[in-house]
């Protein structure tokens, strides 16, 4: 059975009877057995996956109405709640947390008959860029197991790249879907803020994060967005998307479109030589597709990483305050402790990066320092939004490489906090401004992936997919060597 297929091809095959849902699911589970010990994309597996698959086969054979997904296998990042499953956020502090309710996005998937394969690994509480900060061990890049898969949705990206499922749902706060998508050569979308419900996504920085689909192809991404996007009564920050069909007109092309090359994200001294070369070629590809490319400057960009970390650590410090092990968490008897010592002791279970972000998050908005850090960061956000809105008056798309470098070895960047932060340089802009951005696999160079990022204006996902699809037609990528 060829597991290196797309969702749309899979559905065709199931409909035509080439294989049953159960057969494909069984093959997927076998694949997980074969490779996941090495890759470690998954933290937990869904025990009833085969039964769910069987039920869908029954529906098909009995002619009952069947959901759009036809049982395709999908993995879910372990910071998204599913009733009755362990949802750990790759943290020891939620080691035994069993979610008592299901997130809206998974509800949509289950209603449309998708099969959930399991929960995937991430940097603890989604804070990180390499999945090295998971409390349960890192995920390996399927393209080269000595290299990082990116983060924080490293497990999600790797599970798709290694054919351990056909798609995954990750979350993107500063690049956490696009960065690992680029590192693992899959398609990763961060939608417009408010397009996808966050109900059931365990918050890290709630003002800018979004759940994002990770798939093999651009069309699959649009298909998945159709299933999970839309206003949700459980999330006051969701917006009306007019029931858009994102697959519609996706092959229209980009003839006559204007593309802005973001100067600050494409300067050659900020990028590795391979990434720089790939970017130049991508620009040529866009032009050959009929678009006109021109450099554009967004002068606020050099301040965005500092603003991003200031804002997100403030929100994280607040969003993670609830983890005091009193209402849920793990077993620790309160005998002998008083309140403050109990919660301080329980919170020693946070990993090092989360601990540091929480301390930062107490510092930058505090009474003596908010003016210097937090309030300034909020104003950087406002300024950036004006700048990018002006840019979108002139351009249909803004492009840059997703990551300034290719995947690197484990342990290489983890010791210098500033170097690590700067990996987000090209991606945080989309989060701070709420604009949609997609990473498209572009090239494998020296065995390691490079992805290209395309941004569009708010709620322009349909147009964004058109550009991404067009670029995809220009790429020819090898299969993963795993």
Partner 1 sequence: MTKIGLEIHCQLTKLESKLFCPCKANYREFEPNHNICPVCMGLPGSLPRLNQKAVESATSIALALNCQTPEKIAFFRKNYFYPDLPKNFQITQLNVYGDMSVGGEGYVDVEGKKIKIRRIQLEEDPGRLIYEGASDRTKITLVDYNRAGTPLVEIVTDPDFENPRQVRIFLNILSDLLENLGVAEPGLEGAMRADGNVSIEGGNKVEIKNIGSFHDLEKALHFELTRQQSLSERDIDIVMETRHWDDRRKITVSSRSKEEDQDYRYFLENDIPWVKIEQTTRDVLKENMPESISSKKERYVEKFDIAPQVAEIIASDRYYSQLFENAYSEQNAKDIANLITTDVIGFIDTKEKQQKSKITSKHLSDLIDAINAKTITRNSAKVALQEIVKSGKDTKLILQEMDLGQVSDSSEIDAIISQIFEDEKQAVIDAKERPETVNFLVGKVMQKTKGKADPVKTLELIKSKLNQ
Partner 2 sequence: MVDEDEIIRVAKLMKIDLEDHGEHVSRVKKMLEYFDILDQIDLSSEEITSQQKSLNELRKDEFIPYDKKLIESLKNFREHYVRAPKMN
Q: In the window 24-83, what residues touch partner 2 (CB under 8 A)?
A: none
176 is catalytic: yes
Residue 309: name its binding partner from partner 1, partner 2, none (Cβ under 5 to 8 Å by kind). Answer: partner 2
Instruction: Give the CA distances from residue 56 to residues 27, 35, 115, in Å, rounded to whole numbers and listed in that order.
Output: 16, 26, 9
**Which span (156-164, 246-254, 325-333, 441-449) binds partner 2, by CB under 8 A?**
325-333
340 lines the binding site for partner 2 (CB under 8 A):
yes
How many angstroms separate the CA atoms of 370 and 361, rounded? Answer: 11
Binding mask 188-227 for partner 1 (x = CB under 8 A): ----------xxxxxx--xx--------------------
Residue carrying the six token digits 């603003």? 307
Among 116, 262, 364, 444, binds partner 2 (CB under 8 A): 364
Burial 19-37 (b: 16+ CB within 10 A, else e): bbbbebbbbbbebbeebbe
Among 373, 392, 397, 442, binds partner 2 (CB under 8 A): 373
Q: Which of 6, 75, 77, 219 is catalytic?
A: 77
98 lines the binding site for partner 2 (CB under 8 A):
yes
Contact by Cβ (8 Å): 116, 82: yes
Among 113, 164, 220, 315, binds partner 1 (CB under 8 A): 315
The residues facing 170 across adjacent strands are: 212
Residue carrying the six token digits 């990483």? 305
DSSP state of 301: G
Among 289, 343, 421, 422, binds partner 1 (CB under 8 A): 343
Phi, psi of 95 (to 5 degrees): -50, -40
Is the previous residue joined to 374 through a cis bond, with omega within 30 degrees of 0? no
Q: Of all helices (H) and strands (E), which one includes residue 169? A: strand 167-172
How many angstroms separate the CA atoms of 210 and 325, rounded? Answer: 26
322 lines the binding site for partner 2 (CB under 8 A):
no
95 lines the binding site for partner 1 (CB under 8 A):
no
Phi, psi of 134 (to 5 degrees): -70, 140
Helix (H, G, I), strand (E, B) or coil at 297: coil
Is the Cβ of residue 92 or residue 356 nearer to partner 2 in the bound state? 356
End-to-end CA gap in the chain = 16
Residue 372: name its binding partner from partner 1, partner 2, none (Cβ under 5 to 8 Å by kind). Answer: partner 2
Least distance in Å: CB of 116 to partner 1? 16
What is the set of active-site residues? 77, 152, 176
Interface positions with partner 2 (CB under 8 A): 98, 100, 194, 233, 236-237, 300, 302-303, 306-307, 309-310, 317, 321, 324, 326-329, 334, 337-345, 347-348, 350, 352, 355-356, 358-364, 366, 372-373, 376-380, 382-383, 385, 417-418, 421
């Amino acid at each position: 059975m060829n597991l290196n297929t797309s969702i749309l091809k899979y559905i065709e095959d199931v409909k035509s009877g080439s294989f049953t849902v159960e057969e494909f699911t069984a093959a997927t589970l076998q694949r997980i057995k074969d490779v996941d010990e090495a890759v470690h994309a998954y933290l937990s597996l869904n025990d009833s996956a085969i039964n769910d698959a069987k039920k869908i086969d029954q529906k098909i054979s009995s002619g009952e109405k069947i959901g759009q997904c036809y049982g395709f296998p999908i993995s879910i990042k372990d910071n998204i709640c599913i009733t009755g499953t362990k949802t750990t956020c790759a943290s020891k502090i939620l080691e035994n947390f069993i979610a008592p309710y299901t997130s809206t996005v998974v509800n949509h998937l289950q209603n449309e008959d998708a099969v959930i394969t399991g929960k995937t690994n991430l940097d603890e509480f989604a804070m990180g860029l390499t999945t090295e900060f998971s409390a349960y061990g890192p995920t390996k890049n399927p393209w080269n197991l000595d290299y990082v898969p990116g983060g924080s949705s490293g497990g999600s990206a790797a599970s798709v790249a290694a054919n351990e499922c056909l798609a995954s749902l990750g979350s993107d706060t500063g690049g956490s879907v696009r960065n690992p998508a680029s590192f693992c050569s899959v398609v990763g979308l961060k939608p417009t803020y408010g397009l996808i419900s966050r109900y059931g996504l365990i918050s890290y920085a709630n003002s800018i994060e979004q759940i994002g689909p990770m798939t093999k192809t651009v069309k699959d991404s649009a298909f998945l967005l159709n299933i999970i996007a839309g206003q949700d009564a459980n999330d006051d920050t969701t917006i009306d998307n007019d029931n858009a069909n994102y697959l519609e007109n996706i092959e229209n092309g980009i003839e006559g479109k204007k593309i802005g090359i973001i100067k600050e994200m494409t300067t050659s001294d900020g990028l590795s030589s391979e990434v720089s070369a790939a970017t130049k070629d991508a620009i040529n590809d866009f032009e050959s597709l009929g678009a006109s490319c021109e450099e554009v400057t967004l002068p606020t960009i050099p301040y965005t990483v500092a603003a991003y970390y200031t804002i997100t650590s403030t929100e994280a410090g607040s969003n993670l305050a609830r983890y005091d092990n009193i209402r849920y968490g793990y077993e620790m008897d309160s005998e002998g402790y008083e309140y403050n010592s109990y919660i301080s002791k329980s919170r020693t279970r946070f990993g090092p990066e989360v601990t540091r972000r929480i301390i930062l998050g107490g510092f930058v908005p505090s009474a003596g320092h908010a003016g210097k850090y937090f309030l300034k960061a909020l104003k950087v956000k406002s300024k950036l939004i004006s700048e990018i809105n002006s840019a979108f008056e002139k351009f249909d798309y803004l492009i840059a490489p997703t990551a300034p470098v290719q995947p690197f070895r484990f342990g290489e960047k983890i010791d210098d906090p500033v170097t690590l932060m700067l990996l987000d340089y090209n991606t945080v802009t989309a989060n701070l401004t709420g604009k949609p951005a997609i990473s498209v696999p572009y090239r494998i160079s020296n065995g390691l992936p490079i992805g290209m990022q395309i941004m569009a204006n708010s709620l322009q996902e349909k147009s964004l997919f058109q550009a991404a699809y067009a670029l995809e037609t220009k790429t020819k990528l090898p299969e993963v060597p795993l």
